[in-house]
Amino acid sequence: AQSVTQLGSHVSVSEGALVLLRCNYSSSVPPYLFWYVQYPNQGLQLLLKYTTGATLVKGINGFEAEFKKSETSFHLTKPSAHMSDAAEYFCAVSASNSGNTPLVFGKGTRLSVIA
Amino acid sequence: DTGVSQDPRHKITKRGQNVTFRCDPISEHNRLYWYRQTLGQGPEFLTYFQNEAQLEKSRLLSDRFSAERPKGSFSTLEIQRTEQGDSAMYLCASSFTRDRRNEQFFGPGTRLTVL
């Protein structure tokens, strides 16, 4: 069965500092991995995804993530935090090797950005 | 894309009442998913459809919950005899299996409060 662990329920960074949100996964099939962002009282917006191929994936708003099979990790990074990045971030793994099957989400990490 | 829409956005009901939510997926998306998100948690899968066929139901989906997608377009999620534990955000997502995007697009959610 698939599972996701997000280390740190709350991360606080200064504006302009590096953002690092951690995600480790467990999957019985080659994983499809996703990062979503959620602003208050809104749905989820896809930041980036890993399916196959290049292990470093770039997404929207300057975010990127690296798939490391040996570490079963898919950490999200951004070189310089902006106030608008403050939100809840969710890592997810697909139930099969497709993005068109149910997703298993982590519990989320709330990112605060301090001016 | 006009996006996934959900109605209503908010619903307050008394314990024991029945409620129904509607989801309109992105046009031509053949898969539709329902997730539930409680406070401080990541979304949890409830059920999903391909066209009008319900492919899978989570064990989270008790007998009081029923979902349908009668014509393969919009979907409804009904909760009978609501309980306070049903209070949550109900998220709908859709995807298209015939492209290579492997992405689920989420709606804004319906927030249910059971008093």
Amino acid at A48: L
What confidence score (pLDDT) does residue A45 get? Answer: 95
* Matching residue, tokens 């459809």: B49
Say if B56 is an interface residue toward chain A (CB within 8 Å): yes
What confidence score (pLDDT) does residue A97 get? Answer: 77
A–B CB contacts, 8 A cutoff, strictly below = 66
Encode pLDDT of B15-32 as tens digits: 999 999 999 999 999 999
Encode pLDDT of B37-66 as tens digits: 999 899 999 999 999 999 999 998 899 999
* Cβ–Cβ gap B101/A105 under 8 Å: no
Parallel, antiparallel, or unpaired for β B110-114 and B10-13? parallel
Parallel, antiparallel, or unpaired for β B5-7 and B19-24? antiparallel
What confidence score (pLDDT) does residue B1 get? Answer: 55
Burial classification of residue B69, based on how many CB atoms lie within 10 Å of its CB (0-12 exposed, 13-18 middle, 19 or more buried): buried
Whole-angstrom distance, CA of residue B77 vs CA of residue B61: 11
State the nearest Cα–Cα gap between A101 and chain B, in angstroms.
Answer: 8
Say if B45 is an interface residue toward chain A (CB within 8 Å): yes
Cα→Cα distances A90→A30, A101, A110, B63, Å: 20, 17, 9, 29
DSSP string over A69-105: TTTTEEEEEESS--GGG-EEEEEEEEEESEEEEEEEE
Encode pLDDT of B77-97 as tens digits: 999 999 999 999 999 999 999
Most B CBs within 10 Å, among A21, A39, A44, to test the B interface: A44
* Cβ–Cβ gap B102/A103 under 8 Å: no
State the nearest Cα–Cα gap between B41 and chain A, in angstroms.
Answer: 5
Say if A46 is an interface residue toward chain B (CB within 8 Å): yes
Identity of the residue in A90, A103, A106 whose CB atom sits nearest the CB atom of B104: A103
- Hey, is B102 helix, strand or coil? coil
Closest among B52, B6, B2 to B27, alpha carbons compared? B2
Encoding tokens for residue A33?
């991995």
Say if B88 is an interface residue toward chain A (CB within 8 Å): no
Whole-angstrom distance, CA of residue B34 vs CA of residue B11: 17
Q: Phi then psi for A39, rounded to 5 degrees?
A: -90, 160
* Cβ–Cβ gap B40/A107 under 8 Å: yes
What contacts 24+ positions apart, CB below 8 Å, involve A28-33? A28/A1, A28/A2, A29/A96, A29/A97, A30/A97, A31/A2, A31/A67, A31/A93, A31/A94, A31/A97, A32/A93, A32/A94, A32/A97, A32/A98, A32/A99, A32/B102, A33/A65, A33/A67, A33/A74, A33/A91, A33/A92, A33/A93, A33/A94
Encoding tokens for residue B42?
């990541």
Chain A residues within an 8 Å CB radius of B32: none
Say if B57 is an interface residue toward chain A (CB within 8 Å): no
- Is A25:A93 a contact under the CB 8 Å cutoff? yes
Mean pLDDT by 10 residues, chain A (115 residues): 93 97 92 94 92 93 95 97 97 87 95 96
Chain B residues within an 8 Å CB radius of A106: 42
